[in-house]
Homo-oligomer: A and B are copies of this chain.
Amino acid sequence: MTAVHLDAWYVTGIVEGEGSFCVSFNHRSRLNVGIETRPSFSITLSERDRALIELLQDYFKCGAIRYSRADRTYKFEVRSVEEIVTRVVPQFRRYPLRGSKRNDFELFALICALIQQRRHLDPNGLREIIELAFQMNPSGKRRLAKDELLRVLEKVKV
- Which residues of chain A have a CB within 8 Å of any CB of chain B? 4, 6-18, 45-46, 48-49, 51-52, 55, 95, 98-100, 137
Known contacts being A7-B9, A9-B10, A12-B10, is A100 close to B46, with CB within 8 Å?
A: yes
Nearest residue, chain B, Cβ from A4:
B98
> What secondary structure prevails in chain A residues at the interface with B?
helix
Copies of chain A in the complex: 2
Q: Report, nearest first, the 5 A-B pairs whose CB atoms are least far apart.
A: A13-B13, A17-B17, A9-B9, A48-B100, A7-B9
**CA gap between A137 and B16 in the complex, in Å:** 22
Contact at B52–A98, with CB atoms within 8 Å?
Answer: yes
| Minimum Cβ distance to chain B for residue A75 (Å) | 14
User: Which of B18, B51, B98 sits near A17, CB closer than 8 Å?
Assistant: B18
Q: Which residues of B contact A11 (CB under 8 A)?
A: 13
CA distance A100 to B14 in the complex (A): 13
Bound complex: CA of A12 vs CA of B33, how far in Å?
Answer: 44
Q: Are A13 and B4 in contact (CB under 8 A)?
A: no
User: How many angstroms between the C-alpha atoms of A51 and B95 in the bound complex?
Assistant: 18
| Chain B residues, CB < 8 A from A49 | 99-100
Query: What's the Cα separation between A129 and B7 when bound, in Å?
Result: 33
Name the distance in Å between A63's Cβ and chain B's nearest Cβ: 18
- The interface centre, meaning the residue of A8, A9, A55, A137 with most chain B CB atoms within 10 A of its CB, is A9
